[in-house]
A and B are shown apart, each in its own frame.
Chain A
Amino acid sequence: MIELRGVVHRYGARTVLDLPDLEISRGDVLGVLGRNGSGKSTLLRLLGLLEKPVRGQVFYHGRSLEDERSRWAQRRRMAMVFQDPLLFAGSVRSNVAYGLKVRGRGRQEIRSRSDHMLAVLEIEHLAERDAATLSGGEAQRVSLARALATDPEVLFLDEPTTNLDVPARQSFRRDLMGALRALRLTAVYVTHDPAEAIAMCNRLAVIAGGRIVQDAGPLVIWNRPATAEVARLVGLEAPIPGILLGTDAGLARVQADGRSLTVRLPAFPVAPGMAVRLCIRPEHVRIATGPGDTAAPAFSGPVEHIEPQANGVRLTIRCGGMLAAWLDAPSARSLNLRVGDLVHARVDPDDVHVLPEEAALAP
């Protein structure tokens, strides 16, 4: 449906985007995950035909859109929601109707479609309110209703929940997911929040330094990041160093923290003696205070840091590298750990993701 071929975009001498190839199919809800300044919003503006790439082409339905007239015609088949709601002066109803008005739709149609969208997003009661008096959450729902009212074939969302508080964010996400499913929309969702990307999207592209460094299913990226940059973005901050000892029947043996561990065979070519890094999600680590409590602990070491969180604690354990572990509230209470306590950690081989050393150390 949408293809980017050899796209390069620059601001002055600085290259902000370099995408040899990107395809978005009908029905994709593609998350674009990256840090601030990684080029994700620029990508959205290129996809939304709001900017032209310095080099390369953007295709919609196989057509390259070069002249302003065809770009404008295509823009009318999509809509965008930005980080700021960017509501126009006037009532909520007039905002929701804007896209239909500029398309020259009849009054009756404008009224019925606007009312329908206000109802879908449960904001009918705000219809006559001055848009400037809305709360952040209300304003962002109006912005979404305004975009959806135009019946777009593609919806672009540029970090739409960043400025919302937690309850408003959750309800906005729920409504958005409902709308995406109900309208069977193709969408591109830019965010720097991996949990949000995983919850919202059926495909995820991680962007760093203007390049897509991994494009896969959300859970693949969550559990098997391709590089250290991706690992950091999904919350795996300090992969543990190790040496590959050998492989056997779909598994590999790795020496780390002075022990030999069995892990899932990496997807890249391996050779004994190769330096690797081990990525382990905190929620996949099981913690015990005595070695007898767990079978074959993978790591042992003192607790370096304890970070209380809303529904548990996050531990950092010193064991060759730094291993993060997650304890739910009851486990945290029963273990009652303090900084400096010796703990043992066990991890299933399938839950250890191995990165080659160079990928792990790449910026």
Chain B
Amino acid sequence: MLIVNSLREAFRLLLAVDREILEIAWLSLRVSGTATVISVLLGMPAGVFLALARFPGKAFIIGLVNTGMGLPPVVVGLTVSLLFWRAGPMGFLGIMYTPAVMVLAQVLIALPIVAGLSLAAIQQLSPGLRLQALSLGASRLQTVFLLVREARLPMLAAIMAGFGGVISEVGSVMMVGGNIKGHTRVLTTAMVLETRMGRFEMALALGILLLAMSFTVNAILTSVQQRGARRWTGG
């Protein structure tokens, strides 16, 4: 009965377009979207570089990136808190408990995911493609663009994995954002709070919204991705 009632109330809240819920959802999208964009801008070139460059210690760095792909959000939250706490080395910036530091924490979570999957995306291509592009007169940069284009399907999967990793995490944003109402409260932290308070209908409404947002973003990326994947089905 509790579940049915909670679900009914959750849909009522969503249909009523509750202003507080919308603000929370918008902040979630801003924080995780910004973190994903930054992670893509930094992580994709880093992954491509790691895949194509030869330098001493490369295997060690790839090992670090792969480890980072499974970084626990609470460890990231703790590390960022220690750095940006008022008495911490970066405390002078005064960004603790702000969306800015939440973005930073989520970048640290998404960056290794995007970089690691981009690295794997390039490495799964035939090594001959690089030589073929160079032999047809492509510059190094043109060759890199070609390889990224050839790996665009797994590259898009890297973006989806990065976004999925941060939109759903709660540990780091709770620790560095503080879940301050109207300021740093995002969907996941709000869900934890509402559940603790026994307001299951509100928690469920937030959960449904989180799933819907995540699905919409991934659906857009998937449609782009599958346009290039038609060759497998002949469509």
Q: Which of B67-75, B125-133, B156-164 contacts A (4 or more CB under 8 A)?
A: B125-133
**Contact (Cβ within 8 A) B137 A103:** yes
Nearest CB of B to A185, in Å: 15
B 111-130 to A, binary, CB cutoff 8 A, 1 in contact else 0: 00000000000000010110
B86 within 8 A of A: no
**Contact (Cβ within 8 A) A102 B135:** no
**Contact (Cβ within 8 A) B139 A82:** no
Residue of A nearest to B138 (CB): A102
Residue of B nearest to A51 (CB): B131
Size category of the B interface is 20 to 34
Contacts of B138 on A, CB cut-off 8 Å?
A: 98, 102
Nearest CB of A to B104, in Å: 36
A156 within 8 A of B: yes
Contact partner of B137 (CB less than 8 A), chosen from A45, A76, A132, A156, is: A76
Contacts of B133 on A, CB cut-off 8 Å?
A: 98, 102
List CB contacts (< 8 Å) of A130-148 with chain B.
Answer: 130, 132-133, 146-147
**Contact (Cβ within 8 A) B137 A84:** no
**Contact (Cβ within 8 A) B137 A50:** no
**Contact (Cβ within 8 A) A89 B228:** yes
Contact partner of A82 (CB less than 8 A), chosen from B132, B150, B231, is: B132
**Contact (Cβ within 8 A) A75 B134:** yes
**Chain A contact residues, majority secondary structure:** mixed
Q: Which of B132, B149, B231 has the most CB of A within 10 A?
A: B132
Contacts of B134 on A, CB cut-off 8 Å?
A: 50, 75
**Contact (Cβ within 8 A) B135 A79:** yes
Nearest CB of A to B108, in Å: 33
**Contact (Cβ within 8 A) A78 B150:** no
**Contact (Cβ within 8 A) A84 B136:** no
Cross-chain pair count, CB within 8 angstroms: 60
A227 within 8 A of B: no
Nearest CB of A to B204, in Å: 43
Q: CA separation between A79 and B136, bound complex, in Å?
A: 5
Q: CA separation between A75 and B139, bound complex, in Å?
A: 10
**Contact (Cβ within 8 A) A80 B231:** no
**Contact (Cβ within 8 A) A133 B131:** no
Q: CA separation between A86 and B150, bound complex, in Å?
A: 11
A86 and B137 contact, Cβ closer than 8 Å, known pairs A132-B231, A133-B234: no
List CB contacts (< 8 Å) of B41-69 with chain A.
Answer: none
B142 within 8 A of A: yes
A 13-56 to B, binary, CB cutoff 8 A, 1 in contact else 0: 00000000000000000000000000000000100101000000
Contact partner of A102 (CB less than 8 A), chosen from B129, B142, B152, B234, is: B142
Contacts of A156 on B, CB cut-off 8 Å?
A: 135
List CB contacts (< 8 Å) of A116-174 with chain B.
Answer: 130, 132-133, 146-147, 150, 156
Contact partner of B135 (CB less than 8 A), chosen from A50, A88, A89, is: A50
* A-B contacts, 20 listed (Cβ < 8 Å): A45-B131, A48-B135, A50-B134, A72-B137, A72-B139, A75-B134, A79-B135, A79-B137, A82-B131, A86-B129, A88-B146, A88-B150, A89-B152, A98-B146, A103-B137, A130-B231, A132-B231, A133-B234, A146-B136, A147-B135
Instruction: Please give 20 more A-B residue pairs, beta carbons under 8 A apart, in addition to A86-B132, A102-B138.
Output: A79-B136, A80-B131, A82-B128, A82-B131, A84-B128, A88-B149, A88-B150, A89-B150, A89-B152, A89-B228, A98-B146, A99-B136, A99-B137, A102-B133, A102-B142, A103-B137, A130-B231, A132-B231, A147-B136, A150-B136
